[in-house]
Amino acid sequence: MGYLVDSNVIIDYLAFRFKGDSLSAINNIINQELNISVITKIEVLGFTSGVKDLDIKTEQFVALANLFELSHDVIDKTIQIRKKRKIKIADAIIAATALTNGLRLLSHNTKDFVGIKGLAVLDPYTL
């Protein structure tokens, strides 16, 4: 089972915030197969750091990812999640994308995804 990488992980990774075992684990995940939701692409590229080189590096990094679009299955799963739990639409789409594609979610914001049946969420800082 692969991973769906959340926006906060990409931001922290590109800012060199991971160290030691966490960095090694994330490098392995990213080198094996970098999967992101269309929401993650929007969130990460919709922010301008003000540092041209970092913005270019971020665009290049995201371009390497396998991008999961909003399919009908993801939309239906998002609706199911929101009917059962109060959650932001973006987070519900990310969770639905992971569930629909059989992926574990790699996110530092694990509390945002608590109580979503079947969703495996891992905090990269605890790897």
List, for residues 27-39, the tens digit of each pLDDT value. 999 999 999 999 9
For residues 107 and 62, what is the distance between their CA atoms, to the nearest angstrom? 16
Write the pLDDT tens digit of every residue in 9-53.
Answer: 999 999 999 999 999 999 999 999 999 999 999 999 998 777 888
Assess whether pLDDT exceeds 90 at residue 68: yes
First to last CA, the chain: 16
- Could you tell me the CA-to-CA distances from 114 to 18, 40, 72, 85 in Å, in that order? 23, 19, 24, 10
Q: Distance between CA 66 and CA 34 in Å, rounded?
A: 6
CA distance 79 to 105: 18
Q: Domain containing 33 — which CATH number?
A: 3.40.50.1010
Q: Name the residue range of residue 23's domain.
A: 3-126
**Spatial distance between the Cα atoms of 85 and 5, rounded to a whole number of angstroms:** 22
Total domains in the fold of the chain:
1
Q: What is the pTM of this model?
A: 0.94
DSSP E strand boundaries for the chain: 3-5, 35-37, 66-68, 104-106, 121-122
The residue among 3, 5, 70, 64 whose CA lies nearest residue 40 is 5
Predicted local confidence at residue 57, as pLDDT:
92
